[in-house]
């Protein structure tokens, strides 16, 4: 037993020595196989996950910025907000000197009072003239009655036997008939004149009414201009880019400051070749350069009705000169539906990388 033991151990060592080189020869093939398998798996994962996405880094935070401007000219007497202060809709931002506009309002109110007095006078004249017209009409009725009575007397005297009446009676009846007819004609002409004057007075009333309405408009316009001396915020947001100080004179239409609302979205400029499968409602991953470790979520909202080149200051004129085809980009609005977005100080202009899952 003792003599055989060394021989067996020697045989085992020889077997181990022969197997080690074989394993070393197989090791490169095993590593290559593992690498190929990993590459195939990675390619498969990329094909399944990366291919249905369209991404661009030509994107930025966007919003509707209100440029607040003065609507009337005046000297600034008070600034009610500080730079980057949160404001609410209708909050007073700037106050201008109101004295000039208050004077104009007082003048307009005085003109309205004058117009009201003129209207009252015109209506009083209308009442007087209406009474005169009614009196003239009554005179006509009296003259008509007298003329009818005179005509009856004349007809009666001329119808009976001439021997039964005297010539003087007939002459008196004839004269009375002529007199009453003349009086009737005079009364009728007087009535026509009074009615014409009534129409004239009524026209004066209408003119006074129009003047009063114009004066009312003047008062309202003066009051509106006076209200413009108090500049208020058109929306809630943050006041920024203030360009005036107390004592500065501002002109109508001059920008005073800007109000940036807290509601923001992403405007991403995708190449036109990336839009074939893009639709509203598709999910979007958003990474803001200022916060590289945070991925926000949103969705495609809408597409601009025209490429960026169409709305540029100097549009491209492809019909002139030598034409070179240029890949266009279309602005796509992406709304944020991630509650964590409210915790980040997102402001317009921040650079963004947007990735849209198109399928």
**Residue 75: which CATH number?**
2.40.50.100
Q: Are 267 and 338 in contact (CB under 8 A)?
A: no
Range of the domain at 165: 99-227
In this structure, the answer to whether residues 271 and 329 fall within a common structural domain is yes
pLDDT digit string, tens, across residues 231-256? 999 999 999 999 999 999 999 999 99
Specify whether 212 is located in the same domain as 143. Answer: yes
Bridge-based pairing state of the strands 265-271 and 53-62: antiparallel
Claim: this prediction has a pTM higher than 0.85 = no
Report residue 47's pLDDT band, with 50, 70 and 90 as the boundaries.
low
Domain count, the chain: 3
- 12 inside domain: no
For residue 54, what are the CA distances in angstroms to 57, 134, 266, 309?
A: 11, 90, 15, 21
* CA of residue 120 relative to chain centroid, distance: 41
Same domain, 129 and 235: no
337 close to 297: Cβ distance less than 8 angstroms: yes
Residue 319 included in any domain: yes
Residues 177 and 197 both lie in one domain: yes
pLDDT band at 4 (very low <50, low <70, confident <90, very high): very low
User: Does 10 have pLDDT greater than 90?
Assistant: no
Q: How far apart are CA 219 and CA 111, in angstroms?
A: 9
Name the band, by pLDDT with cuts 50, 70 and 90, for residue 18. Answer: low
Q: Distance between CA 165 and CA 154 in Å, rounded? A: 12
| 317 or 199, higher pLDDT | 199
Lowest-confidence region among 46-55, 112-121, 306-315, 320-329: 46-55
- If you average pLDDT over residues 119-128, what whole number do you get? 93
Give the number of other CB atoms < 10 A from CB of residue 27.
Answer: 9
């Amino acid at each position: 037993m003792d003599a055989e033991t060394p021989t067996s151990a020697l045989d085992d060592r020889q077997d181990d020595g022969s197997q080690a080189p074989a394993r070393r020869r197989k090791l490169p093939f095993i590593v290559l196989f593992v690498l190929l398998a990993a590459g195939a798996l990675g390619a498969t994962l990329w094909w399944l996950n990366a291919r249905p996405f369209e991404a661009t880094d030509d994107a930025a935070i966007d919003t509707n910025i209100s440029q607040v401007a003065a609507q009337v000219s005046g000297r600034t007497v008070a600034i009610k907000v500080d730079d980057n202060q949160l404001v609410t809709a209708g909050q007073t931002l700037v106050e201008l000197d109101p004295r000039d506009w208050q004077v104009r309002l007082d003048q307009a109110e005085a003109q309205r009072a004058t117009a009201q007095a003129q209207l009252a006078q015109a209506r009083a004249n209308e009442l007087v003239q209406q009474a005169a017209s009614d009196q003239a009409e009554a005179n006509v009725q009296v003259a008509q009655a007298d003329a009818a009575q005179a005509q009856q007397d004349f007809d009666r005297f001329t119808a009976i036997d001439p021997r039964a009446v005297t010539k003087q009676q007939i002459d008196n009846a004839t004269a009375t008939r002529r007199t009453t007819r003349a009086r009737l004609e005079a009364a009728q002409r007087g009535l026509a004149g009074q009615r014409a004057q009534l129409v004239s007075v009524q026209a004066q009333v209408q003119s006074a009414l129009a003047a009063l309405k114009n004066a009312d408009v003047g008062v309202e316009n003066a009051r509106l201009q006076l209200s413009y001396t108090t500049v208020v915020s058109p929306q809630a947001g943050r006041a920024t880019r203030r360009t005036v100080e107390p004592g500065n004179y501002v002109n109508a239409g001059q920008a005073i400051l800007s109000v940036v609302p807290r509601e923001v979205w992403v405007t991403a400029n995708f190449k036109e070749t990336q839009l074939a499968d893009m639709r509203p409602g598709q999910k979007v991953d958003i990474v803001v350069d200022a916060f590289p470790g945070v991925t926000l979520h949103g969705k495609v909202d809408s597409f601009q009705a025209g490429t960026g080149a169409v709305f540029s200051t100097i549009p491209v004129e492809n019909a002139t000169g030598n034409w070179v085809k240029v890949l266009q980009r279309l602005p796509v609005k992406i709304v944020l539906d991630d509650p964590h977005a409210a915790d980040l100080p997102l402001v317009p202009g921040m650079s963004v990388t947007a990735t849209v899952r198109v399928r």
